[in-house]
Structure 1
Amino acid sequence: MTTSSRTPLHPVVAEVTARIVERSAPGRTAYLAQIRAAGDRGPARGRLACANLAHGFAASDAPAKKALRGRTKPNVAIVSAYNDMLSAHQPFETYPRALKQAVIRAGGIAQFAGGVPAMCDGITQGRDGMQLSLYSRDVIAMSTAIALSHDMFDGALMLGVCDKIVPGLLIGALSFGHLPTVFVPAGPMESGLPNGEKAKVRQLHAEGKVGRDELLEAEAASYHSAGTCTFYGTANSNQLLMEVLGLHLPGSSFVNPGTPLREALTRAAGARVTELTRQGGENTPIGEIVDERAIVNACVALLASGGSTNHTLHLVAIARAAGITLTWDDLSDLSAVVPSLAKMYPNGEADVNHFHAAGGIAFLVHTLLRAGLLHDDVRTIAGHGLWRYTTEPRLRGEDLTWEEGPKASLDTTVLRPADDPFTPDGGLKLLSGPLGRAVIKTSAVKPEHRAVTAPALVFDHQDELLRAFGDGELDGRDFVAVIRFQGPAANGMPELHKLTPALGVLQDRGQQVAIVTDGRMSGASGKVPAAIHVTPEAALGGPLARVHDGDAITVDANTGLLDLHVDRAELNDRPATGRAPQGPEWSGTGRELFAAFRATVGSADTGASVFPGVPVPPQEVSVVPV
């Protein structure tokens, strides 16, 4: 037992955890009963008929066939998001062979069970394909379930990194929650052009001061090799959260690809999942690891590190997959007491490599445990206790070991202890008012920009705003840009990050600007205040559909207010204007294939998922009456 593990839990963390446990009791009980029943039936392939089993090992070599005929060796599924177009997933090409060898050496057998799609928001940003991005999370979850559905497996390895891929893999894995499952990262690319310099070039291009060639050169110098993009967006937030959830090996998230340590950690993941199976003697189902305390730990780590706003959707959906009901109120209440401890772009100048070098996740977990802000009493793939994630992997010759991590930050401009934070809160706020409920990320927004009251300028597509900016129509005026019909049921809730450089230009000129949208602003939400994920969305009759140009709107991250200064009776009498894409507008580039998703997707505050889950109590999601 470490000193940090004896620190009393912060009362707000304890209270939020207790209410999640109480609220989730019916769903969590049913979920645990389901996965325990599946686990109690023993190795799945032992119940397969002979023809079924023969199909399952027909392509295997002779030793593997022999192993798969018996029941003594655990069979591990490998599910991968590999493709060689996306830098973050390209390293996974060689992982299956290495993992299979590691599993065999550990006394098991492994099969490549299936691949899942992996799309990049950085490539599809502002394109029609971006309208499939959020939906891809649930497609990945279903693809994961299909890969595991053959009932051949005693454990699983999940290979994925980026935005929707890791949440999708985790949701799918939780549907087979009786299986021990280890997530295997690939690591970030080495640092290239500093993110701050890249952002400056983007803004200069938005102003027309540099051309496409200069912009492309800057982007290519930033995104330059295999590995995850180095800014702290959704992809790297995923990696940090998987580690704090106890699903990565300690210290493995931010080790660069192609290094001896990265290769050793990959082999160790294969060995570890073999040990975690029933036959391996340490049976640790993933559905038992991801409990209410683990979900709260993930929320705290997200807030302390200034992570992606996309996880206000993903964590809710992940929790629901484990029978747990997490709400935005929980995140907001935790944010009020969890200090901001990291400065990574877009919240600062550093990237994840700098964060890792300054002490990284090991120090972050250490200082949060010492402050009583994390639950130590949790199960992980490394064993019992989150304190194990205060250690760091080291190669001593060819031997991989874990040693005590740093107990002080090595660079306090990037990473700070909980008793000397950058700010006392986690930089995420719940907004509510006549327009509904929304979230706002304030960690990159200067204090003087966190409260804006200005006339609305209403747009039904981000391209309309960009055209107005290009034509000079937005110059010299304060405004709140209302970008509506961007919710999950309207057009798949695309990220609207292309708006940030343009609005950043206006803000730098002294204009007061803000965004209100039922869409997303991504893990790179920046310096312009943005009330995002507004629910109810415009396409489902939300008040956003009745906002007119010139209506005064207040976005106040200090008080949590999202106000529309219009008489309530007048607003209720107004007919809705604008509309979501319809018919031919929702076709091409595969979009027509997702009509069923648009018709069934849930609201943003329940995870924007097409999967049913435990109903959220009405009092947790009620909109302030108009």
Structure 2
Amino acid sequence: MNAVIRSVTQRIIERSGDTRGAYLARMEQARSQAPHRGELSCGNLAHGVAACEQGDKSALKLMNGANIAIVSAYNDMLSAHQPLQHFPELIKKAVQGMGSVAQFAGGVPAMCDGVTQGQPGMELSLFSRDTIAMATAVALSHNMFDGVLCLGVCDKIVPGLLLGTLSFGHLPAIFVPAGPMTTGLSNSEKARVRQLYAEGKVDRAALLECESQSYHGPGTCTFYGTANSNQLLMEAMGLHLPGSSFINPGTPLRDALTSAAAEQICRITEQGEYRPLAQVIDEKAIVNGIVALLATGGSTNHTMHLVAIARAAGVLINWDDFSDLSAAVPTLTRIYPNGTADINHFHGAGGMALLFRHLLTLGLLNDDVLTITGKGLEQYTEEPFLSGDRVVWREGPTASLDVDVIANIEQPFDADGGLKLLQGNLGRGVIKTSAVKPEHRVVEAPAVIIHDQHELEPMFRRGELDRDFVLVVRFQGPRANGMPELHKMTPILGVLQDRGFKVALVTDGRMSGASGKVPAAIHVTPEACRGEGLARVQEGDVIRLDSASGKLEVRLSSEELAARKPAMADLSANQFGMGRELFAGMRQQVSGAEQGASVLFQPQYSLPE
């Protein structure tokens, strides 16, 4: 096994000793070797089964089979979640075939960052993750269930479902994906039209037609953003059936995999081969998730989501862990925005089976982990196929079927995983370099400061940005305004870079899974509204972003920086409208980006005697 992977894993285990031990003790206390509904009073149970059809009602009263909770993010506005509409029917039939019962325990909200991008609703996006976690807990709080099937796909939904389910880690859990939409307009063509629109060379009708050809049907968006990174993570951490992440919706194999997941959850309850979620998600599984994310250039959102997920399981990780692992993990894929291929192309080139084979061969994964299959990660080098109407697994590819999309291990695309920790007198942040060409990875230039991403376009139209500069977009952190994604600036900055200017972005906000070709120091913490770092930068200050050495600094002495009065921002416009007033408490309580940007894990205080 790679020495760095082993070392980082071990230090996480040692760092997490107390918190992990306390979590496992709580999960063991919650465990019941008999069906959990047996702990309910007769009145409680009668309420829980009243709406069941007679066969299920009788089975639940007999206490000799499992009851499986379905928690779903279905809605028919989101393309990624629309296919989930029919999953409960498939699941219930499959579970009945196993002599058990499945009940739809609850739905969780699912918002789309693609719809809210650049809109006020985006300021609810990050907080929707913790809201989903709490909604999941409400769904499972009835103590009726012996296992959980989580149905969700997109950006905050899967992390939220996992955060909530980890509070019920004494139960086994399986995540059931919906799959990506079929390939539409190429990602390179989409990016080209977006830049032309930013330059005023095509009109809105042309842009809308381009976007509609890209996002055209049911399923996950096909670029490698947070939604598809979620699927990769669930498989890498052993919570998906092998090879199930990227099968298109509405296909016989997709439906068969959904039924197979329903059957498998019945096998791993207390009534079978018990494999609780608390034992599947441990320190080694978390490291495996990070490694898979790094090897594929996955979403930077997971530098926050994985921190929160790990904490929910009693595991403590930080950005040093990400950065040290990144230095040891080569980039093995090129998927847009880190290349031109989409996720369907990745799947066709060898997909998850080949990726697992490469990572295991290189000694980059902890193989001694528990998965929902119980057979370790070696089984994840297999691919699912249909035999009649049943799923069977066969050995996956042993070499790349397209070396422009998945590298063979002898010739990786980059020697590292393309995610770096940046630190200096502006604080700590992260940068994703896998889509940034080497000649753009170091920028030193005067600061241009804005407090709203919408300020950039008028400046661009007026010709004020045809020069080298570092764009500082501050007061965009979780406490300031909920930490919206800032992709509205991406085409403009891309145009300026293509014109030959040295440009970079520094922000306490997010860019997320679609972080692209312009170097961007993101999630900078402490955030500006705390009065440190970015709050003390002034227009024209020279900032150096050096992803090679991991430096992020303003060229000022520590004394001069400390003596400056922090800038202030009027955030009143972010407090109301589109539901933002309901999330004021979250903005006040949220932790910093490196702590997971969460309201779920607050210090525990003893009450006075």
Q: Provide TM-score, normalisation by structure 1.
A: 0.95
What is the distance in 1 between the residues matched to 2:531 and 2:177?
Answer: 41
Pair 1:523 & 2:513 matched: yes
Specify whether residues 613 and 302 from structure 1 end up closer, same or farther in structure 2 by C-alpha distance, changes over 3 A only: farther
1:234 to 226, 234, 255: 226
- 2:607 corresponding residue in structure 1: none
Give me the whole-angstrom Cα distance separating, in 2, the residues matched to 1:611 and 1:264.
Answer: 36
The correspondence for 2:157, drawn from 152, 165, 173, is: 165
SS at match of 1:393: strand
**One-letter amino acid of the counterpart of residue 549, structure 1:** E
CA distance in 2, matches of 1:614, 1:170: 21
Distance 1:18 1:418 in 2: 25
- Aligned residue for 2:93, secondary structure, equals helix
SS at the partner of 2:145?
coil
Give SS of 1:380's match: coil
CA distance in 2, matches of 1:417, 1:36: 43
1:569 alignment partner, one of 554, 559, 565: 559
Q: Deviation digits for residues 489-548 of structure 1, max 9, x if unmatched?
A: 000000001111000000000010000000000100000000000000001122111110
Deviations 1:287-345 (Å, cap 9, x if unpaired)?
11000000000000000011000010111110000000011000000000100000000
Superposition TM-score, scaled by structure 2 size: 0.98
Instruction: Provide the C-alpha distance between the structure 2 equivalents of 1:444 and 1:502, rounded to a whole number of angstroms.
Output: 17
Whether contact under 8 Å (1:245, 1:297) holds in the other structure is: yes
Offset of residue 181 of structure 1? 0.5
**Cα shift at 1:470:** 2.3
- Residue 302 of structure 2 corresponds to 311
The aligned counterpart of 1:471 is 462
2:244/2:257 contact within 8 Å kept = yes
Structure 1 counterpart of 2:280: 289
**Structure 2 residue 179 is matched with structure 1 residue 205:** no
Q: Is the 8 A contact 2:2 2:364 kept in 1?
A: yes
Distance 1:601 1:100 in 2: 38
Contact 1:518 1:538 in 2 (8 A): yes
- Correspondence for 1:179: 171
Return 5+ residue gaps in structure 2 as ranges: 605-609
Asked whether the 8 Å contact 1:364–1:417 carries over to 2, the reply is: no
Please tell me the residue identity of whatever aligns with 1:586.
Q
Question: What is the distance in 1 between the residues matched to 2:192 and 2:156?
Answer: 28
How many angstroms does 1:472 deviate by?
1.8
Aligned to 1:594: 583
Q: Give CA deviations for 1:49-79 in whole Å, capped at 9, x if unaligned.
A: 1111111011111111111112211000000
| Residue type of the alignment partner of 1:490 | A
**DSSP-derived class of the 1:379 partner:** coil
User: Could you give the per-residue CA deviations for residues 72-128 of structure 1, whole angstroms, max 9, x where no partner exists?
Assistant: 110000000000000000000001011011111012101000000000000100000
8 A contact 2:529–2:568 mirrored in 1: no
- Match of 2:174, SS state, is strand
1:102 counterpart residue number? 94
- Amino acid of the structure 2 residue aligned with 1:410: L
Contact 1:335-1:427 within 8 A present in 2 as well: yes
Match of 1:335 in 2: 326
- Asked if 1:558 corresponds to 2:541, the answer is no
Whole-Å separation in 2 of the counterparts to 1:307 and 1:356: 15
Aligned to 1:612: 601
What is the one-letter code of the residue matched to 1:401? V
Q: Distance in 2 between matches of 1:134 and 1:432?
A: 24
> What is the SS of the residue equivalent to 1:336?
helix
CA distance in 2, matches of 1:446, 1:399: 45
**1:423-572 correspondence to structure 2 within 5 Å:** 423-475=414-466, 477-572=467-562
For 1:95 and 1:469, how far apart are their aligned partners in 2? Answer: 47
3-state SS, counterpart of residue 207 of structure 2: helix
In 1: Cα distance, 2:381 partner to 2:209 partner: 39
1:140 and 2:132 equivalent?
yes
1:422 counterpart residue number: 413
* Identity across the alignment (%): 63
- What SS does the aligned partner of 2:353 have? helix
Q: Partner letter of residue 497 of structure 1?
A: H
Matched letter for residue 595 of structure 1: A
> What is the rounded CA distance, in whole Å, between the counterparts of 1:41 and 1:485 in structure 2?
50
SS at the partner of 2:80? coil
Q: Which has the larger displacement, 26-35 or 395-404? A: 395-404
Residue correspondence of structure 1 range 151-162 to structure 2 within 5 A: 151-162=143-154
Q: Tell me the distance in 2 between the aligned counterparts of 1:50 and 1:399.
A: 39
Render the CA deviation track for 1:219-261: whole Å, top value 9, x for unaligned: 0000000000000000000001100111000000000001110
Judged with a 3 Å threshold, the aligned counterparts in structure 2 of structure 1 residues 363 and 585 are, in CA distance, closer, same or farther, namely closer
Residue identity opposite 2:522 in structure 1 = I
Task: For 1:527, give the aligned amino acid.
Answer: K
CA–CA distance in 2 between the matches of 1:356 and 1:114? 32
Give secondary structure in 2 for the equivalent of 1:53: helix
Q: Aligned partners of 1:377, 1:66: CA distance in 2, in Å?
A: 41
Within 5 A, what are the aligned runs for 1:239-254?
239-254=231-246
Classify 1:265/1:423 alpha carbon distance in 2 versus 1 (closer, same or farther; 3 Å).
same
Distance in 2 separating the partners of 1:522 and 1:327: 18
Residues 557-593 of structure 1 deviation map (CA, whole Å, 9 limit, x = unaligned): 01000011012212111111132513x5410100000
Deviations 1:409-444 (A, max 9, x none): 111000013332001100000000000000000000
- 1: CA distance, partners of 2:57 / 2:99: 15
Match status 1:220 vs 2:209: no
Residues 315, 191 of structure 1: alpha-carbon distance in 2 compared, 3 angstrom cutoff: same
Question: Residue 270 of structure 2: SS of its match in structure 1?
Answer: coil
Helix, strand or coil: the match of 2:16? helix
Structure 1 stretch displaced more, 422-431 or 58-67:
58-67
Q: Give me the whole-angstrom Cα distance separating, in 2, the residues matched to 1:492 and 1:434.
A: 24
RMSD of aligned Cα (Å): 1.0
Instruction: Assess if the C-alpha contact under 8 Å between 1:140 and 1:165 holds in 2.
Output: yes
Residue among 59, 66, 80 paired with 1:67: 59
The letter for the 2-side match of 1:463 is H
What code does the residue aligned with 1:54 have? A
* Structure 2 partner of 1:6: none
1:618 aligned partner: none
The count of residues paired between Structure 1 and Structure 2 equals 604
Looking at structure 2, the residues matched to 550 and 179 of structure 1 have their Cα atoms a distance apart, in angstroms, of 55
| 1:390 matched to 2:381 | yes
